[in-house]
Amino acid sequence: PAFFTRTAYGTIIHEGKNVIKYGPGGAKGGEVEIMSQPRESREFGGQGYVMEEAITGDFALVKAWKADERGNLVWKGTARNFNPDCARAGKICIAEVEEIVPVGELSPEEIHLPGIYVQRVVKGNSYEKRIEKRTISTGSGEIKVDPRRELIIKRAAQELTDGMYVNLGIGMPTLVSNYTKPGVRIELQSENGLLGIGPYPAEADVDPDLINAGKETITMIPGSSTFSSSDS
């Protein structure tokens, strides 16, 4: 029903001073119709956390790779993202899948979401997986970056040391790993559930189920692992 998070501790969100909705005159009018409520807070390990109540929807609509006839679901690559969490948050979960298999064909170890959370399964017709940013490796290793942006990227790369696990955000941060010092090996994590991001794929290796948080096509390195976005 709720969870504790460090995010927003000590801010106007925590204190209940955030305006959710202004009156007819908008922000200029200054009339507030709905104000946020103060968040309950606690300390764990000497650090402050605020409590956030969970969202429960009437319906949860998710997409998966496979399902069996009992509603057990399997995702492929990074396509799992927040799907399992959304499925659990709805009173009725409807899952669209590419394939429905008989009970027993999926091994218990490969099931990502038990069927107890899924009330309906639909096999999608004319299933199409669109790629928003088809990012291809040229194989040359050359990177074309605006000199001003490159300066910022190079400075950020100096903060990376050997053995770090690094979450690189969307935009310039995705290029930081190209400017690390010689001998520095880092492992990249994607916010949509992948630890161990490899280089951009060649055209023949493009997989719509392997994308990063910036919606770019990627590959995985040996030893990579996939998981839910909430574990990221």
Residues marked active site are found at: 191
C-alpha span between 71 and 103 (Å, rounded): 9
CB-side neighbour CA atoms (13 Å) of 110: 12
Q: Which positions ≥6 away from 155 have C-beta within 8 Å? A: none
* Six token digits for residue 48: 């402050």
Could you identify the residue written with the tokens 């429960």? 56
Nearest Cα neighbor of 110 from 142, 64, 151, 149 is: 64
What does each C-alpha distance from 128 to 63, 125, 196 come to in angstroms? 12, 9, 27
